[in-house]
Amino acid sequence: MFPPAWQCHRAPHQLRPPRTRSSATAGIEVPDLVGLSASTARRNLLSVGLRVDELVPVAGIPGVVVRTQPPPEEAVSPGTPVILYVGVDAERLRRELEQSLSPS
């Protein structure tokens, strides 16, 4: 189940910068990107030294990040790729699924 649309957008003052771990663990914490646009999420990842591995379409508000892998607050190495699960129209997902299942 997805959150209501009013919960999916955060004002800039509600975003907290990711914490970096001590040099003992030498990691970067994956920022919480849920509810942000895919382009804003990408910029946030790049600004902390992480990168987008792929965008995976899932049912949800079009263009809005639904979840990430690794999840928020997980400590990872600099440069780690992050998968963004981005909302698309449910009808689009249905059409793509039907196309992928139909014989070529």
DSSP code of residue 86: E
pLDDT mean over 16-24: 49
Residue 63 lies in a domain: yes
DSSP code of residue 52: E
- The structure's pTM equals 0.70
pLDDT for 67: 97
Q: How many domains does the chain have?
A: 1
Is the model's pLDDT at 22 over the cut of 90?
no
Q: Which residues span the domain enclosing 76?
A: 26-101
Cβ(65)–Cβ(41) below 8 Å? yes
Residue 21 lies in a domain: no
Dihedral of the alpha carbons of 72, 75, 80, 85, in degrees to the nearest 10: -10
pLDDT mean over 11-23: 49
In one-letter notation, the amino acid at residue 52 is: V
- Residue from 42, 61, 39 nearest 53 by CA: 42
Distance (Å, whole) CA 22 – CA 19 = 10
Residue 14 lies in a domain: no
Residue 84 lies in a domain: yes
Distance of CA 97 to the CA centre of its chain: 22
Residue 11 lies in a domain: no
Q: Residue 36's domain is classified under what CATH number?
A: 3.30.10.20
Distance (Å, whole) CA 17 – CA 43 = 13
What 3-state DSSP class applies to 76?
Answer: strand
pLDDT for 104: 65
Residue 54 lies in a domain: yes
Residue 79 lies in a domain: yes
Residue 38 lies in a domain: yes
**What would the pLDDT profile of 48-100 be if each residue is shown by its tens digit?**
999 999 999 999 999 999 999 999 999 999 999 999 999 999 888 888 888 88
